[in-house]
Structure 1
Amino acid sequence: MVLIIVTFLLVLLVLLYKYAMDPYKTFEERGVAHGKPRPLLGNLSVRVLLGRKSFLKHLIEQNIALRHHKIYGFYNLREPFFILHDVELIKRVGIQDFEHFINHRPMIPETGETIFSKSLNGLKDDKWREMRNTLTPSFTGSKLKAMFELINECSVEGGRYLEAELLKSNKREIDLEMKDYFGRFANDVIASAAFGIKVNSFVDKNNQFYTLANSVMHFSFLSLIKVILYGIMPRVMKALRVKLFNGKKIDYFCSIVFDAMKYRREHNIIRPDMIHLLLEAKRQFQQNETVDSSTERAEFNDEDLLAQCLLFFFVGFEVMSTSLCFLTYELCRNPDVQAKLYEEISAVEQELQGQPLSYNMLAKMKYLDLVICEALRMWPPAFSLDRMCGKDIDMYDENQELLAKFRKGDIIQIPIIALHRDPHNFPEPEVFKPERFLDENRANIKPFTYLPFGVGPRSCIGNRMALMEIKSIIYHLVSKFELLPTEKTVKNMLESLKGFHMQPKEKFWLKLVPRKLD
């Protein structure tokens, strides 16, 4: 009996090991360099999964170790990723051979949460193309200019809150945790500019929109476990219909959008926000729609419009607040840069002569552009981007030597953070140097090594709006306060980041000192 049990356990262990190692043949069969995978984990670091090391640092180290290869492999749990290091390959995948790499890897596992598959990020092939063409006019300069007042109003409220906090403290300075501050700013911008409602999360700290938005964006340990299980056993998780997001919380945002659309239709209200722009895009789409059974056409009903609003929410909330945290962190660590930026802001203030900041004046601030570009280089909002191969393609260089063989279904990754931190691309990559992006220095930047908003036709559609938000709040913040480090400010950011989080364990603490005291 004991022998039977032992034999059964040995067979079970062998089968489990075979199942665990079965996917790890792809790179060896294709002749692609890669590190030795571990059962179930692939090339993911255990320390990263346990939150003891930053995934960003892991990507950078891996890129350094394999940088002499134009392409190398990375097993993300049981899923093979083809990592591109060569700029020519990046150009081919992102632009020249784009028709083979139109689609993203699904942002969220296919769990029945179909609303996310209707977003611009989740749409595929002709459906994506039609939706992209429909939405692009909503992000023109003239449309953003009309929306600027809503965004700038949130920035002004953020400044007023800090001034009030300073008065309450009876001190000449305040310590501030910037993630909370910028999270409230990003929340109010999204509420106003995307969902068409006005909230002030600085005054009403526990308003319903902010509370629910914060809870949805808080990626819990349980959510991480679900993502990992989707990577290890996707069929089982799909069969069990395990969802990553709380449906009731998502329903709250759905009701906001649908109620706003209904009210505006009934009362003929026009407000220069994202809902209005999307309603206009929907109307234009339906006017231009023609019946063509030969292609799989996109739709643009109310649910499709809602999907775009939710996409802007998920991307805008976390990306905006995190990017601003890293930017202000670098400003406090580089006082000479901050002083030069303040000079430019002061000159703009004098030119405005007491008038509110305008879209046109913001566009004139060249040094602010340089500072933001450098912050996005050191801390890109998306540390990697992906494409999925839609049809087989063999890529050759100008000497007809084979560069890569991609097959339908392959997932290609471009490690943005590794490209931005590679000393061969950006000398002294750990040094904050806005002057890298001066017109006379841009020629020194290799094409396709700086990709903060992606590459090619599938790059971020909302990058101009994101930059407008960043510029607006930084203008008001730096004009009123000097940003200084505190005892709690992170000393080494890359070491303090842990796991997949873009927030250090010490959080983003800065000291704010008013520039003009009464």
Structure 2
Amino acid sequence: MLKRSSSLPVKRNQASMSELKTGSTSLFLGARSLIMCTILLFGVCSSYLVTATLLACSATLLFYHIQSKYNYWAVRGVKSPPATPFLGHTLQRLGIKMPFMEFFDDLYFNYNGRDFCGYYDFLQPGLFIGNPEIIKSILVKDFDHFADRRTFDLGKVNPIANDMLSNATGQHWRFIRGVVSPAFTSGKTRRLFPLMNNRAIHLLQLTREEAKKGSVEAHALCGKYTMDSIASCAFGIECDAYSSEAETFPVMAARVMQLSPARALKILVLLVAPKIAEVTQRLGIDFTSPEFHFFRHVVTNTLRLREKWGLRRGDILDMFLESNLNDKNGPSDNIITAQAILFILAGYNNTANTLALTLHLLAHHPDVQAELRREIAAEMERCGGQHIPHDRLVKMPYLDAVVSESLRLYPAAPVIERICTKPCTIAGTSIHLRKGQPVLIPIWSIHRDPQHWPQPTKFVPERFLGESKDSITPYSYLPFSHGPRSCIGIKFSLLSVKIGLVHLLTSMKLLVAKESRHPIALNPRVLTLQPKDGVFINFVPCSFEETLREETMLYPTNSDKDTNNM
């Protein structure tokens, strides 16, 4: 009994030792697993930590590198507003972040832009210049250093675009300018006068029809007139005629200026990855729009028919044909087509804007309207009551002053951009520009600077008469730019506006419509000063003689006005 009882604890101790060993082994294994998991977790965390640290350091270094780019002007002692990382001032300049007019005015008045200041196009430093003397140097004296505009090489996907005068560069631009310029001299523009006069008569007819319905949206009306003038003078087409081309032309011309999603995508590809555009073009995706093909077909066919049958209309196509006859190195069909399409892109909207906004200003300033109508009456009397001929119309001082003042307030080109084509030190400064750097000239801000224009927001045509005109600071008035790269169609555009005004004012009174607001609201997202909500005017048919008598009683003549208190 005793032996049995004494053996029990031994067995129990052995079992306990076995359990202890088993427990210790389990504990050891558990601890080892925990340690291994801890090491593994630490390794993983360390990997993420190292990666995160490297990314943070890289981002920090990149940020400071970008910021160092935006110190370009500061280290040169030139003022510039704070820049957005990576974007610089691109969104402001394009009117995306804020109205571009406000951005220009901010640079001009708050950052020494009245003289010059800096800005950034993404990471590229550019110079913003408001000093008239420096502007003269950029546009004229040192033109060879600033001969190009910002352009994109589209030769592989749309050769016509590269032949446009506005998009051509270097020697190619010089060649095109040389063969195109003769078609836009004063003498050649005089030849277009009968065609333009016919379109102005059609404008008056359209206005009478529209006026019967109430107030007229003048911007759309002027757009039709401008399109008629361009179609007739540049393409040899009368848009109110009954032919397939005449019916199709306004539709295709409108489409040229429409930015569909597909066209926006093509433009993006052209700008960001032109090589991809070339490949896709070879695969059958045409980057030349159907509208360009249409205009090339119209111009080519018209030229061939005129050469074959000797037909002449006295329009721009005839002038190009004469250039080919006189010079075997004259413009090719592509160059002629390119300039005709450029007429639409550059001339249509700008001319329509100028005419519509001038009508708006006249409606809101009946005294100016009365003075202009008196000048028209005096000229008509000198011409025996007939329509005013070209040579007299272009010399009418008050008509010219009215249009000039309208263009001061609403310039056709609110900003001029040039690209430095070879290194240059800006005249009168220590600022050195490298090849490829852009230069902006803020016409909008300069035209509204009280240092150059007393009471700059007021519509005062007398600024452009007599001694007041003689005292204008040179290069402070640039509605169509200046120098060799200025607008080649300026005479055509001004003549179109003046003819339209004369025809309307001889048969219509311009009154303020209830929908009209003054000053007029402009679209902040469009770089051509396009009216935001339309231009509404009441056109009231009137007797020219009776209106003159009424206005003589209501408003003083120009000679009675005090123009020294502007």
TM range (shorter): 0.7 to 0.9
The answer as to 2:443 corresponding to 1:416 is: yes
Q: 2:470 aligns with which of 443, 466, 469?
A: 443
What residue number does 1:142 align with? 187
Give the C-alpha shift of residue 440 in structure 1. Answer: 1.3
Give the C-alpha shift of residue 98 in structure 1. Answer: 1.6
What residue number does 1:379 align with? 410
Cα deviation code 1:57-108 (max 9, x no counterpart): 3212321112366321222344433111212211111111122222222178
Q: Report the more deviating stretch, 104-113 or 55-64.
A: 104-113
What residue number does 1:499 align with? 525
Give the C-alpha shift of residue 136 in structure 1. Answer: 2.3
Give the partner amino acid of 1:188.
Answer: D
What residue number does 1:255 align with? 297
Give the partner amino acid of 2:103.
Answer: H
Q: 1:330 aligns with which of 350, 353, 361?
A: 361
The answer as to 2:310 corresponding to 1:268 is: yes
The answer as to 2:549 corresponding to 1:509 is: no
What residue number does 1:407 align with? 434
Give the partner amino acid of 1:325.
Answer: A
Cα deviation code 1:458-482 (max 9, x no counterpart): 2122111111111000111122111
Q: Distance in 1 between the 2:231 and 2:369 partners?
A: 30
Q: Aligned pair in 2 of structure 1 residues 118, 175: CA closer, same or farther (>3 Å)? A: same
- 3-state SS, counterpart of residue 425 of structure 1: coil
Give the C-alpha shift of residue 188 in structure 1. Answer: 0.6
Q: Distance in 1 between the 2:412 and 2:152 partners?
A: 15
What residue number does 1:293 align with? none
Contact 2:157 2:288 in 1 (8 A): no
Q: Report the more deviating stretch, 243-252 or 426-435.
A: 243-252
Query: Normalized per residue, which structure has more helix?
Result: 2
What residue number does 2:232 align with? 192
Q: Distance in 2 between the 1:143 and 1:47 partners?
A: 38
Q: 1:33 aligns with which of 79, 100, 104?
A: 79
What residue number does 2:33 align with? none
What residue number does 2:29 align with? none
Give the C-alpha shift of residue 442 in structure 1. Answer: 1.9
Q: 2:487 aligns with which of 460, 480, 495?
A: 460
Q: Aligned pair in 2 of structure 1 residues 32, 116: CA closer, same or farther (>3 Å)? A: farther
Across the aligned residues of Structure 1 and Structure 2, the Cα RMSD in angstroms comes to: 3.3
Residue-pair matches, total:
492
Q: Summarize the alignment of residues 1-12 of structure 1 with structure 2, pairs less than 5 Å apart.
A: 4=48, 7=52
Q: Distance in 1 between the 2:239 and 2:443 partners?
A: 35
What residue number does 1:277 align with? 319
Looking at both structures, which has the greater relative contact order when contacts are Cα pairs under 8 Å and sequence separation is at least 6? 1
- 3-state SS, counterpart of residue 67 of structure 1: coil
What residue number does 2:551 align with? none
Q: Aligned pair in 2 of structure 1 residues 382, 69: CA closer, same or farther (>3 Å)? A: closer
Q: Distance in 1 between the 2:339 and 2:113 partners?
A: 40
What residue number does 2:513 align with? 486
Q: Summarize the alignment of residues 122-133 of structure 1 with structure 2, pairs less than 5 Å apart.
A: 122-133=167-178
| % identity of equivalent residues | 28
Q: Summarize the alignment of residues 242-321 of structure 1 with structure 2, pairs less than 5 Å apart.
A: 247-286=289-328, 289=329, 300-321=331-352
Give the C-alpha shift of residue 425 in structure 1. Answer: 1.1
Q: Report the more deviating stretch, 443-452 or 347-356.
A: 347-356
Q: Aligned pair in 2 of structure 1 residues 418, 362: CA closer, same or farther (>3 Å)? A: same
Q: Report the more deviating stretch, 508-517 or 311-320.
A: 508-517
Q: Distance in 2 between the 1:225 and 1:416 partners?
A: 31
Q: Distance in 2 between the 1:10 and 1:124 partners?
A: 44
The answer as to 2:256 corresponding to 1:216 is: yes
Q: 2:459 aligns with which of 422, 432, 446?
A: 432
The answer as to 2:109 corresponding to 1:64 is: yes
Q: Summarize the alignment of residues 390-405 of structure 1 with structure 2, pairs less than 5 Å apart.
A: 390-397=421-428, 402-405=429-432
- 3-state SS, counterpart of residue 33 of structure 1: coil
Contact 2:108 2:114 in 1 (8 A): no
Give the partner amino acid of 1:253.
Answer: F
- 3-state SS, counterpart of residue 80 of structure 1: strand
Q: Distance in 2 between the 1:425 and 1:310 partners?
A: 36
- 3-state SS, counterpart of residue 467 of structure 2: coil
- 3-state SS, counterpart of residue 539 of structure 2: strand
Q: Quick check: which has more Rg, 1 or 2? A: 2
Q: Aligned pair in 2 of structure 1 residues 176, 11: CA closer, same or farther (>3 Å)? A: farther
Cα deviation code 1:124-143 (max 9, x no counterpart): 23332233232222222221
Give the C-alpha shift of residue 50 in structure 1. Answer: 4.5
Give the C-alpha shift of residue 248 in structure 1. Answer: 0.9
The answer as to 2:162 corresponding to 1:117 is: yes
What residue number does 1:207 align with? 247
Q: Which runs of 5+ in 2 are unaligned?
A: 1-43, 547-566
Q: Aligned pair in 2 of structure 1 residues 422, 408: CA closer, same or farther (>3 Å)? A: same
Q: Aligned pair in 2 of structure 1 residues 319, 225: CA closer, same or farther (>3 Å)? A: farther
- 3-state SS, counterpart of residue 275 of structure 1: helix
TM-score, L = length of structure 1: 0.85
What residue number does 1:295 align with? none
Q: Aligned pair in 2 of structure 1 residues 4, 277: CA closer, same or farther (>3 Å)? A: farther
Give the C-alpha shift of residue 185 in structure 1. Answer: 0.6
Contact 2:151 2:168 in 1 (8 A): no
Give the C-alpha shift of residue 20 in structure 1. Answer: 6.9
What residue number does 1:97 align with? 142
Cα deviation code 1:25-71 (max 9, x no counterpart): 543454432111112431245697557x4312321232111236632
Contact 1:483 1:510 in 2 (8 A): yes
Q: Aligned pair in 2 of structure 1 residues 259, 48: CA closer, same or farther (>3 Å)? A: closer
What residue number does 1:292 align with? none
Q: Report the more deviating stretch, 33-42 or 251-260.
A: 33-42
Q: Distance in 2 between the 1:111 and 1:35 partners?
A: 39
Give the partner amino acid of 1:212.
Answer: M
Contact 2:210 2:216 in 1 (8 A): no
Q: 2:419 aligns with which of 375, 380, 388?
A: 388
Contact 1:490 1:506 in 2 (8 A): no
Q: Report the more deviating stretch, 180-189 or 17-26.
A: 17-26
Give the partner amino acid of 1:236.
Answer: A
Q: Distance in 2 between the 1:192 and 1:179 partners?
A: 20
Q: 2:276 aligns with which of 215, 239, 260?
A: 239
Contact 1:379 1:417 in 2 (8 A): yes
Give the C-alpha shift of residue 437 in structure 1. Answer: 0.8
Q: Report the more deviating stretch, 423-432 or 105-114.
A: 105-114
Q: Report the more deviating stretch, 331-340 or 106-115.
A: 106-115
Contact 2:227 2:250 in 1 (8 A): yes
Q: Aligned pair in 2 of structure 1 residues 32, 124: CA closer, same or farther (>3 Å)? A: same
